[in-house]
Amino acid sequence: MLDKKAPVIIPCCGIDSVYGLMTQKIALQVATTAGKNTEILGLSYLVNGEIEAVQRITDTPCIIINGCFKECASNVVEIIGGDIAAEYAVDTLVAGFDMASLGDAVNLTQTGESQVGEIACSLIADVNNAIKGAQKC
Amino acid sequence: MLMHPKPIGLIACCGSECLGGYISRAVAASIVHQQRAGQVATISLPRLLIGTASEKKFSLNHPTITIDGCTKACARKAVEKYCFKPIVGVNIGELIGEQEALVTTEPNAFSTPQYLAELEKVSGIVTHVVDSLAAMYEKAKMAQNHSCDQGTCDCGCSGSSCECGCESGSRDMVHDDALHISGEHHVDGIVIYTKNGCPFCAKVLQEYKDKGIQFQEVNTSINVWAKKLCHDKYGSDKVPVVVKDGVVIQIGDNEGKG
């Protein structure tokens, strides 16, 4: 399934909380590190349901990064009929941390930045494993 | 005038594909959570499609400004498609340049002076748009509550043109308007004619402020005479109109957009 096309990373739009900001930064780090293997697709592009956007994720494995339990990114991709290869929720991944210690919707603290790095590293490993087999981060 | 009972709404595209999208999110978050905290509401764009009934009516309940990172204008289109047309649509590509807005972002780009400067610039423009819209609704609210003729106006205008929006004030302004339009009220220096919620006006105002150039802003949404003056004397139906010593030196922004 995953060898159809290079996967796309779809982060949520999260503007309400620190999780949304983390989601965006994680997606950027993963896409940058994975290089040609992945690209980011803005969720807002899919929200309209435009033909171009739908075609972009057709037969393409989607790596979804949600900020919170609302799982907006997963829900929108499901509605459009995208192929969800993996999905993550940042609030679950940082469950042991107090929200305030991570930062806010505008800025991340040192802890927040550190968590972004760790989660991104983990996701990069997953993405690479999905594409190439057992490649490590 | 359409009265909105709730605060102004801000919906950003948050597009992660390009710099414009990241700036849209950063600007919206900064305004909603810091600069105008408590005065501006926001919602994540997908909630218009998959949210609760209340969330889907967001732009119906809030006079909404959309911020798009690029010309795809996903946020504006989504708001129009799923809810009620936004009051203002800001396109960051038009503010920082289309090519610049479409640049693919690097993780370390967020701390560069260039990014911070563009963030501040766009933030200043959007804040101006938010403030001017808020002022417009506040004025409309005053107009609804005040009536000099009935003796209930508490603005102290006594029927003069205090811009409280009351009927007596408006009536007295007619004479004043005529003076402006006939050119008897001539203002030396630079005058920038703007209107509420205009991102191009905000952009030009920001540029003049950044350059330290003194100017006087005249809001055509508040001053009817100024709108007529722009049309009749300066031949422009759009703003901003920049006038220096009575001579038009610029219509629209640097690219003529208005």
Cα-based distances in Å from A134 to A62, A79, A111, A124, B254:
19, 31, 29, 12, 54
* Percent of all residues in chain A with a pLDDT value above 70, rounded to a whole number: 90
B197 contact partners, CB below 8 Å, separation of at least 6: B65, B87, B88, B129, B132, B133, B136
Average pLDDT score over residue span B72-99: 91
B147 contact partners, CB below 8 Å, separation of at least 6: B153, B166, B167
Residue A1 pLDDT > 50, yes or no? no
Quick one: pLDDT at residue B127?
93
Q: Strand pairing partners for B88?
A: B65
Rounded CA-CA distance B179/B229 in Å is 10
Q: Can you read off the two tokens belonging to residue B35?
A: 């600069």
Helix-then-strand count for chain B, H and E: 11, 8
Which residue from B33, B34, B77 is facing A48, i.e. has the nearest CB?
B77
Cβ within 8 Å of B, A 69-108: 70, 72-73, 75-76, 79, 104-106
Q: How far is A12 from chain B (nearest CA, A)?
A: 8
* Mean pLDDT score across all residues of chain A: 87
The answer to whether the CB atoms of B44 and A12 lie below 8 A apart is yes
Q: Can you read off the two tokens belonging to residue A96?
A: 């042991």
Average pLDDT score over residue span B71-94: 92
Q: Which residue bears the tokens 């748009």?
A: B129
The answer to whether the CB atoms of A45 and B72 lie below 8 A apart is yes
Average pLDDT score over residue span B5-21: 88
Average pLDDT score over residue span A45-58: 88
- Listed residue (B63, B57, B85) closest to B73, CA to CA: B85
Q: What is the pLDDT of residues B31-46, one digit of tens each?
A: 999 999 999 999 999 9
Which residue from B25, B43, B72 is facing A24, i.e. has the nearest CB?
B25
Q: Can you read off the two tokens belonging to residue B117?
A: 């400067």
User: Within a 10 A sphere around the Cβ of B205, how many other Cβ atoms?
Assistant: 21
Rounded CA-CA distance B221/A116 in Å is 46
DSSP string, B196-214: TT-HHHHHHHHHHHHHT--
Average pLDDT score over residue span A45-57: 88
Residue A9 pLDDT > 80, yes or no? yes
Q: How far is B203 from chain A (nearest CA, A)?
A: 23
Rounded CA-CA distance B127/B177 in Å is 29
Cβ within 8 Å of B, A 11-50: 11-16, 20-21, 24-25, 27-29, 32, 39-45, 47-48
Which residue from B49, B81, B105 is facing A76, i.e. has the nearest CB?
B49
Residue B29 pLDDT > 90, yes or no? yes
Sort out which chain B residues have CB atoms less than 8 A from A32's CB and list them: 106-107
Residue A22 pLDDT > 60, yes or no? yes
- Listed residue (B124, B113, B146) closest to B209, CA to CA: B124
Quick one: pLDDT at residue B24?
95
Quick one: pLDDT at residue B144?
66
The answer to whether the CB atoms of B46 and A75 lie below 8 A apart is yes
Q: How far is B27 from chain A (nearest CA, A)?
A: 9
The answer to whether the CB atoms of A41 and B34 lie below 8 A apart is no
Under DSSP, is residue B245 helix (H, G, I), strand (E, B) or coil? coil
Cβ within 8 Å of A, B 58-77: 69, 72, 74-75, 77
Q: How far is B117 from chain A (nearest CA, A)?
A: 16
Which residue from A13, A29, A48 is facing B44, i.e. has the nearest CB?
A13
Q: What is the pLDDT of residues B95-148, one digit of tens each?
A: 998 899 998 888 888 888 989 999 999 999 999 999 888 888 877 777 666 655
Rounded CA-CA distance A24/A82 in Å is 20
Q: How far is B17 from chain A (nearest CA, A)?
A: 6
Could you tell me if B9 lies within 8 Å of chain A, comparing CB atoms?
Answer: no
Which residue from B29, B72, B77 is facing A15, i.e. has the nearest CB?
B29
Quick one: pLDDT at residue A132?
63
Q: What is the pLDDT of residues B180-223, one digit of tens each?
A: 545 545 556 889 999 888 888 988 988 888 888 888 888 888 88
Task: Show the beta-strand stretches assigned E in chain B.
Answer: 8-12, 40-42, 64-68, 88-91, 190-194, 216-219, 241-244, 247-251
Residue A31 pLDDT > 60, yes or no? yes
Q: What is the pLDDT of residues B217-254, one digit of tens each?
A: 888 888 888 888 888 888 888 899 998 888 888 888 88
Quick one: pLDDT at residue B187?
59
| Phi and psi at residue A48, to the nearest 5° | -70, -20
Q: Strand pairing partners for B201?
A: none
The answer to whether the CB atoms of A42 and B17 lie below 8 A apart is yes
User: Within a 10 A sphere around the Cβ of A128, how many other Cβ atoms?
Assistant: 19
pLDDT level of residue B169 (50, 70, 90 thresholds): very low
Q: What is the pLDDT of residues A93-115, one digit of tens each?
A: 999 899 999 999 999 999 999 99
ipTM score for this prediction: 0.89
